[in-house]
């Protein structure tokens, strides 16, 4: 066998494996999305690695397509940067884009608002002006409404000898 026949034979043997590898790598590349709290550096480096591996497997990916793929994978915090990048028609390599994105990431972290403390709806036992009191309308006051601590006294024009309309007992 001469060298040409050997190379052709090897291509036939490993072409299916390379095709599957190309498919898996492109699938992983297109599925890359940056999370809200993920740092930009590892995310873009992973995407650049996928793109370089696709080139070694024989896939031709243009520079603009690489940049577009990286920009589309970013989260909403970078929306202003993406708009400026496209409007100013900036031409950069993926590694230069990574440097720009790292700068933007530090600016986003500086400008992000301070975290807001969440307040849980719960009982206010022993805190502030509610100490020892119960709120009206809460589940724990249902027993208070139906069974008062003091007996009710007659009021407003009830004579001493009158009987109760409900229980038919006199004077209560």
Structure confidence by residue, pLDDT tens digits, 97-125 = 999 999 999 888 887 666 676 777 766 55
Q: If you average pLDDT over every residue of the chain, what do you get?
A: 80
Average pLDDT of the segment spanning 136-161? 58
CA distance 62 to 35: 26
Name the more confident of 113 and 168: 168
Q: Is the pLDDT of residue 83 over 60?
A: yes
Is 129 buried (19+), middle (13-18) or exposed (0-12) by CB count in 10 A?
exposed
DSSP 3-state assignment of 3?
A: helix
* Domain regions of the chain by residue span: 16-111
Instruction: Flag whether the pTM goes above 0.75.
Output: no
Kindly state the percentage of the chain with pLDDT values over 90: 36
Q: 154 to each of 94, 157, 169, 172, how far by Cα in Å?
A: 88, 8, 13, 6
Name the more confident of 55 and 148: 55
**Structure confidence at residue 10 (pLDDT):** 78
H-assigned helices in 73-152 = 79-87, 94-111, 142-146
CA distance 114 to 112: 7
Q: Is the pLDDT of residue 50 over 90?
A: yes
Q: Is the pLDDT of residue 43 over 90?
A: yes
Name the more confident of 37 and 72: 72
Let me know: does 133 contact 141? Beta carbons within 8 Å. Answer: no
Kindly state the percentage of the chain with pLDDT values over 70: 72
């Amino acid at each position: 066998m001469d060298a040409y026949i050997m190379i052709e034979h090897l291509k036939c043997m490993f072409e299916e494996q390379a095709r599957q590898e190309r498919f898996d790598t492109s699938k992983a590349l297109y599925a890359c999305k940056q999370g809200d709290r993920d740092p930009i550096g590892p995310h873009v480096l992973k995407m650049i690695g996928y793109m370089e591996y696709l080139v070694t497997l024989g896939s031709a990916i243009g520079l603009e397509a690489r940049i577009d793929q990286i920009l589309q994978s970013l989260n909403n915090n970078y929306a202003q940067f993406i708009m400026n990048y496209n409007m100013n028609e900036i031409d950069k390599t993926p590694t230069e884009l990574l440097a720009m994105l790292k700068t933007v990431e530090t600016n986003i972290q500086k400008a992000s608002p301070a975290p807001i403390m969440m307040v849980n709806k719960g009982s206010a036992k022993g805190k502030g002006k509610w100490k020892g009191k119960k709120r009206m309308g809460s589940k724990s006051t249902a027993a208070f409404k139906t069974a008062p601590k003091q007996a009710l006294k007659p009021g407003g024009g009830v004579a001493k000898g009158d009987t109760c309309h409900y229980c038919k007992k006199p004077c209560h």
